Structure 1
Amino acid sequence: MQEAKTNNELPGIPEKRQFTIGEVAQLCAVKPHVLRFWEKEFAQLQPNKRRGNRRYYCREDVLLVRQIRSLLHEQGFTIVGARAQLGQLGRQQDCLEADTQFEHSEISQMLLELEEIFDILSD
């Protein structure tokens, strides 16, 4: 497989809620260790870390990685220049709000199921 030279040559982003570091690496044509390095260099790139310190990126993270990749590889910015160009996008807050909304709906669904079980056991 030939490596994409520009973001226009990258594959489409699937309609998923979360992506692993390997999936993001493939979608953005960078190595996983580059993503981990960029997390340290760009404050906006903060994937959720769960069990075993596994990283889960939301769709906005994937778009941000593509933007960083473009700034560094296509437009020739340095890390410092790309960081300045990005500014504070508020991306992290968007991901947290999306996760919170999803978790609330999951909790609501579990409560409904527990109430149904309680009703069955009560009879």
Structure 2
Amino acid sequence: MLEPSHNNELPAIPGKRYFTIGEVSELCAVKPHVLRYWEQEFPQLKPVKRRGNRRYYQREDVLTIRQIRTLLYDDGYTIGGARQRMTDEKTKGVHPTHIDAVIQETIDDLEELLELLKPGR
């Protein structure tokens, strides 16, 4: 399990449609029980539930979880404060942390692509 770190130290999000709770746990450096708790506290988190009540998160969910994680762990918000901040930002537009996460993800994807395109690979 990854230790809590800043968004730019989190692994790149693979280009697939759905992620299991275990994969999201690794991608966001948050334990699965914390993710389940956050689902109850943040209305923005609505993973798809399939047979057996298994959760499947989409890329947008992973970005939202990273945003929540940043607000709680890096910015020092309480659960209520983070929920309010995300609700306020939703009415105003995209949160800067979300934009930073998207930019960082794009940079990571491009660096990965460059690595694949290097001669001699």
* Residue type at the aligned position of 1:7: N
- Check 1:2–1:52 CA distance in 2 against 1; reply closer, same or farther (3 A cut): closer
- How far 1:5 moved relative to its partner? 1.6
Q: Which amino acid aligns with 2:82?
A: A
SS of 1:49 mapped into structure 2 = strand
Q: Give yes or no for the alignment of 1:7 onto 2:11.
A: no
User: Which 5+ residue runs of structure 1 have no aligned equivalent?
Assistant: 91-123
Residue equivalent to 2:112: none
5 Å matches for 1:29-68?
29-68=29-68
Root mean square deviation of aligned Cα: 1.7
Counterpart for residue 86 of structure 1: 86
Once the two structures are superposed, the pairs formed by residues 20-35 of structure 1 within 5 Å of their partners are 20-35=20-35
Q: Identity across aligned pairs (percent)?
A: 67
Give the corresponding residue for 1:76: 76
TM-score by length of 1: 0.69
Of structures 1 and 2, the larger Rg is shown by: 1
Structure 2: tracts of 5 or more residues without a match = 92-121
Which amino acid counterpart does residue 32 of structure 2 have in structure 1? Answer: P
Q: Which amino acid aligns with 1:81?
A: G
- CA distance 1:2–1:46, change in 2 (3 Å): closer
Q: 1:106 matched to which residue of 2?
A: none
Divergent runs of 4+, >3 A = none
Alpha carbons of structure 1 residues 63 and 51: separation in structure 2 relative to 1, 3 Å: same
Equivalent pairs counted in the alignment come to 90
